[in-house]
Structure 1
Amino acid sequence: MFTPHLPLSCSSLCFVCTLQNKSTTMQRASRLKKELQLLTNEPPPGISCWQDNQMDDLRAQILGLVDSPYESGIFSLEIILPERYPFEPPKVRFLTPIYHPNIDTAGRICLDILKMPPKGAWKPSLSISTVLTSIQLLMSEPNPDDPLMADISAEFKYNKQSFIENAKQWTLKHATQTKKDEVCLGLGKNLGFCFPTPALNNMANAH
């Protein structure tokens, strides 16, 4: 005997949605945990990342690469993960002022993988580690053809030496000051790097 399928009630639909949301949240938390463990155990050279007060609120530090105007500078960043991460890119901004054509005075970054297609290149297979290494590379290899700071972009294009001098001055002023809550560690091949106290605590808790 044929029994027609009855439509789900509103309460049943809400229950299904709740289960789906819980599953998505658990998957997101599991992925984030794995990403942070990898960043702690096998960090890219010159990069550290740790959780701040909430699961989706991260902090990172990038060490300026050798032979760049940002050499030896320690740049702090804020990373906010949206609810749909990794299906949406993280929101990343510099907390440390930096003189760069693709980074504005609010710390916002012009980088294709931080934007959704079709204008951007973000995809779920990318990770926080990929984002941070891409930002580190952008610091050393600016893209003056897609700037956030038009005046700095023009300087980079037409007066490179002036750009280098200004970037070095900003690095010296904003990114090399000694901070009481930082502990210097060796990272990679004798690469000096400073982790703030929260990062050290996270490392200790991970073991």
Structure 2
Amino acid sequence: MAQAAKRITREYTEIEANPPQGITIQPIDEDMFKWNIEITGPKESIYAGGTFKLLLTLPTNYPFKPPVLSFQTKIYHPNVTNDDKGSMCLGILRSDQWKPSCKILAVLEMARGLLMEPNPDDAVETSIAEQYKNDKAAFEKTAKAWVKQYAK
């Protein structure tokens, strides 16, 4: 656990020194294993104008196991569950795809990237993915309505 805390602290310091566009981070606890994340919807996306709260939970054996990233703000998106968990389908976070060389910053940037371009072929909400593929106008209308309602 001491090794994990050291690595997490180093990555946090790197992110603070060079913050990524549209993403803010705030550790919740002193041991740095839980962070509040805020991601602003990219200007060019249907999520523009929204601010999304996420929770990053790092395992005690980080970086050998991937972190867990979940949306706390409801979002209409094929890659985020529509339940109170807000689980995110992001390839890099799967145990079989995670590598210890991966960094928290890459995870956060990929999460913001999914706001720019959802991946309906790797969806956790299949009905939303189908709508995205077959009726993009309806998808965008609903997504924008959810941004107004939930991502203030």
TM-score by structure 2 length? 0.94
1:29 aligns with 2:12: no
* 2:95 corresponds to which of 94, 97, 116: 116
SS in 2 for 1:145: helix
SS in 1 for 2:106: helix
Q: Which residue of 2 aligns with 1:161?
A: 137
SS in 1 for 2:73: coil
Letter in 2 for 1:133: E
Q: Which residue of 1 aligns with 2:68?
A: 91
Matches within 5 A, 1:23-172: 25-55=1-31, 56-105=33-82, 106-117=85-96, 121-172=97-148
> Using the alignment, how far apart are the partners of 1:159 and 1:66 within structure 2?
22
SS in 2 for 1:104: coil
**Once the 2 structures are TM-superposed, how far is the Cα of residue 160 of structure 1 from its aligned partner?**
0.3
Structure 1 residues not aligned, in runs of 5+: 1-24, 177-207
Letter in 2 for 1:67: E
Q: Deviation above 6 Å: which 4+ runs of structure 1?
A: none
RMSD in angstroms over aligned alpha carbons?
1.1
Q: Which residue of 2 aligns with 1:191?
A: none
Cα pair 1:89 1:122 within 8 Å, conserved: yes
Structure having greater relative contact order (Cα 8 Å, sep ≥ 6): 2
**Once the 2 structures are TM-superposed, how far is the Cα of residue 54 of structure 1 from its aligned partner?**
4.4
SS in 2 for 1:171: helix
> Using the alignment, how far apart are the partners of 1:64 and 1:167 within structure 2?
12
Cα pair 1:44 1:133 within 8 Å, conserved: yes
**Once the 2 structures are TM-superposed, how far is the Cα of residue 32 of structure 1 from its aligned partner?**
1.0
Structure 2 residues not aligned, in runs of 5+: none
Q: Which residue of 2 aligns with 1:175?
A: 151
Letter in 2 for 1:40: E
SS in 1 for 2:132: helix
Cα deviations by residue, 1:140-190 (Å, 9 ceiling, x for unpaired): 1111112111111111000001111111110111112xxxxxxxxxxxxxx
Cα pair 1:61 1:76 within 8 Å, conserved: yes
Aligned length: 149
SS in 2 for 1:113: helix
Structure 1 or 2, whichever has the larger Rg, is 1
> Using the alignment, how far apart are the partners of 2:145 and 2:17 within structure 1?
33
